[in-house]
Amino acid sequence: MSTHLSEQEIQRREKLKELARLGVEAYPAPTFEVNTTSKQIAEEFDAEKKNLQDISIAGRLMSQRIMGKASFGVMQDSLGKVQFYVSRDEICPGEDKSLYNDVFKKLLDIGDYIGIKGYVFKTQTGETTIHVREIKLLSKALKPLPIVKEKDGEIYDAFTDPEQRYRQRYVDLIVNPQVRETFVMRSKLISTMRNFMTERGYLEVETPVLQPMYGGAAARPFKTHHNTLDMPLYLRIANELYLKRLIVGGFDGVFEFAKDFRNEGMSRFHNPEFTMMELYVAFKDCYWMMDLFEEMVEAVVIALHGKTEITVGENQINFARPWKRYTMFEAIKEYTGTDISALDEDGLRAAAKQLRVAIDDTMGKGKLVDEIFGTHVEPKLIQPTFITDYPVEMSPLAKKHRSEAGLVERFEVICNAKEICNAFSELNDPIDQRERFEEQLVLGKRGDTEAMQLDEDFLRALEYGMPPTAGIGIGIDRLTMIITNQPSIQEVIFFPQMRSEVAQLRSEEAKS
């Protein structure tokens, strides 16, 4: 990093020296006891009752309006902002006015942490304000914050550059309150789901992130190496096969909020690490899981918004049960007018061409169906919609359909034109599962970099017997994007992956 300091950074370092000269500690150690918050003051202050007459609050100084011997300022704590009023002769009752004239007026900066003691009152203009009796510097900021101003709900000079916002999320969180709100909602979403499952008796578990063999999804992994064991390890792309081992072990229901890692392209819908919640429940099938998922998402939306209908981008989306349910063939017929359910591979290829779907010769039956669906149906599914009965070729871990040849017991929910979950009646026939893995091996040899590996230990577990099981994987980031109305995954992940600025900074350093 360049050692060049801006004018403002130099000034703030000078102020540190001046504070020291005045005997003011810039980074004091003792606890500053707090007994209220900006939120409590805003909600509970009552000028009639004269409550909140002895408060102590800490936060970041966000603006200062100095008018001679009196000043107003705004401080921000974790729950919001509150205005305060300082009068020179009250904080400096004696002859020495340096606390006000020097420390408060000159040596404090926007961004500094301060502690305030005083009482709450309303100004002539009616704003709830803290009348300051004591003010104390708690931590000096050496870098200037972006200054965002607001009047009548209009925001001026918002801090908007996405690169800076993501790289310096701490600054984004300080100056953009709606960003904080989005992440609080993400946290509530997760806790609502966790409670929902825990209340039903399912056990939250943890399974390996470092896996000797990756599996449970079609994706390219990150590879690493363990020095002591001298063996390759992979960062998990899914935890499915481990959770099923636990069902074999006798748990009725297990779930995990898992960070998964996929070494693939990045976009506003893809981050290399992302969060997936997987749940497996014994003695159930995928139709049972449809009801559970529908109920859970409806509960989450109500918990976060107090209603089932929300605005997402241009659309109004209503999560009230029941949601539409289509088989994949029904959905394709509905949206293209073409019934492809009885077609063989050649017929599908012809139908795809007629529907102007981009295909190539390597695509098998399942892939062709998926391409038609992805091109003509998925983009149109805005309201949450179940799609069931997927082709067997695309689903090596799902049980064959109880009545439809060539299909599996599987569903996805599409919402806002994106998949938000994927669920099966889990394949528990160990012989069938071995054959499916073997088909994947063939695909892998043909060069499919996302084909699954054959996991002998998983097959051994199935051979001990896995009960009929329903399983689901829910993309937490995608679900959060929809429920918080955010257009990109980077807006719902605190620290999204970015190209390193290190190379850039180093080359600058080398020159100087």
Binding range to RNA, per CB under 7 A, among 63-71, 243-251, 322-330, 439-447: 63-71
Residue 159 makes contact with RNA by CB under 7 A: yes
Q: Which is nearer to RNA, 6 or 311 (CB)?
A: 6
Residues paired with residue 149 on neighbouring β-strands, in sequence order? 156
Restricted to residues 13-42, the positions that interact with RNA (CB under 7 A) are 15
Restricted to residues 445-474, the positions that interact with RNA (CB under 7 A) are 450
Restricted to residues 99-118, the positions that interact with RNA (CB under 7 A) are 106, 109-110
Amino acid at 183: F
Residue 217 makes contact with RNA by CB under 7 A: yes
CB atoms within 10 A of CB 411: 26
Residue 69 makes contact with RNA by CB under 7 A: yes
- Contact with RNA (CB under 7 A): which of 28, 162, 322, 347? 162
Amino acid at 320: A
Cα 297 from chain centre: 16
- Contact with RNA (CB under 7 A): which of 38, 129, 182, 336? 129
- Contact with RNA (CB under 7 A): which of 156, 227, 231, 405? 156
Q: Taken in order 482, 483, 488, 490, is the CA torsion positive or negative?
A: negative
Residue 88 makes contact with RNA by CB under 7 A: yes
Amino acid at 54: D
Write the Ramachandran bin of 177: left for phi over 0, alpha for psi from -120 to 50, otherwise beta.
Answer: alpha
Write the Ramachandran bin of 283: left for phi over 0, alpha for psi from -120 to 50, otherwise beta.
Answer: left
Min separation Cβ 5 and RNA, Å = 9
Q: Provide the CB-side half-sphere exposure for 125 (13 A, CA).
A: 4
Q: Taken in order 264, 267, 272, 275, is the CA torsion positive or negative?
A: negative
The rounded distance, in Å, linking the Cα atoms of 406 and 373 is: 17
Min separation Cβ 228 and RNA, Å = 30
Min separation Cβ 511 and RNA, Å = 5
Output the six-digit token pair for 95.
């002859």
Residue 85 makes contact with RNA by CB under 7 A: yes
**Residue from 257, 244, 289 nearest 423 by CA:** 289
The rounded distance, in Å, linking the Cα atoms of 397 and 390 is: 12
What SS3 state is found at 444?
Answer: helix
Q: Which is nearer to RNA, 80 or 272 (CB)?
A: 272
Residue 487 makes contact with RNA by CB under 7 A: yes
- Contact with RNA (CB under 7 A): which of 239, 388, 422, 469? 422
Residue 239 makes contact with RNA by CB under 7 A: no
Binding range to RNA, per CB under 7 A, among 146-154, 239-247, 320-328, 397-405: 146-154
Q: Which is nearer to RNA, 166 or 282 (CB)?
A: 166
Site string for RNA, 181-200 (x = CB under 7 A): --------------------
The rounded distance, in Å, linking the Cα atoms of 140 and 15 is: 9
Residue 120 makes contact with RNA by CB under 7 A: no
Residue 63 makes contact with RNA by CB under 7 A: yes
Q: Which is nearer to RNA, 292 or 397 (CB)?
A: 397
The rounded distance, in Å, linking the Cα atoms of 180 and 397 is: 39
Restricted to residues 242-261, the positions that interact with RNA (CB under 7 A) are none
- 482 contacts 311 by C-beta, under 8 angstroms: no
Calculate the alpha carbon distances from 304 to 187, 188, 297, 484 in Å: 10, 7, 11, 9
- Contact with RNA (CB under 7 A): which of 252, 264, 330, 432? 264
Residue 125 makes contact with RNA by CB under 7 A: yes
Min separation Cβ 66 and RNA, Å = 5
What SS3 state is found at 123?
Answer: coil
Site string for RNA, 306-345 (x = CB under 7 A): ----------------------------------------
